[in-house]
Amino acid sequence: VQLVESGGGLVQAGGSLRLSCAASGLTVDDYAIGWFRPRGQGREGVSCISTLDGTTYYSDSVKGRFTISNDNAKNTVYLQMNSLKPEDTGVYYCAAVTSSSPSDYCLGYGSIGDWGQGIQVTVSS
């Protein structure tokens, strides 16, 4: 699976950005696809979605501000980020794995799957 992120950039606090993750090489209908960002020594699963049934997961830090969606026809996952805060700054990675729930994948259970190259999001105060 190949994943290509786009849509990052620089925005002022309170602003919005929409990230896109274009996936290719998908072989089955059942993937968990998500957005991750580095946090401390590890990573945070910001939001994940199931391509099979559309169920979603959000970390507490973004719940109510970010919305993940999936366009199966385009094999693209979007992350709409509103009310951005300086602490949202970082490199955002799109990643995908087969046969996992969105919550399990975002919380780090099971295989790490395939990852994109990452895209920078910078929120200025």
Going by pLDDT thresholds of 50, 70 and 90, the confidence category of residue 26 is confident
pLDDT-based confidence at residue 27 (cuts at 50, 70, 90): confident
State residue 28's pLDDT score. Answer: 79
pLDDT band at 103 (very low <50, low <70, confident <90, very high): very high
Residue 3 has pLDDT above 90, yes or no: yes
Q: Write out the H or E segment, with its range, that includes residue 117.
A: none
The sheet with strand 17-24 has its strands ordered as 2-6, 17-24, 76-81, 66-71
Distance CA 61, CA 12 (A): 18
Q: What is residue 102's three-state secondary structure? A: helix
If we measure between CA atoms, which residue out of 78, 80, 63 comes closest to residue 33?
Answer: 78
Mean of per-residue pLDDT scores for the chain: 96
CA–CA separation, 58 vs 71, rounded Å?
18
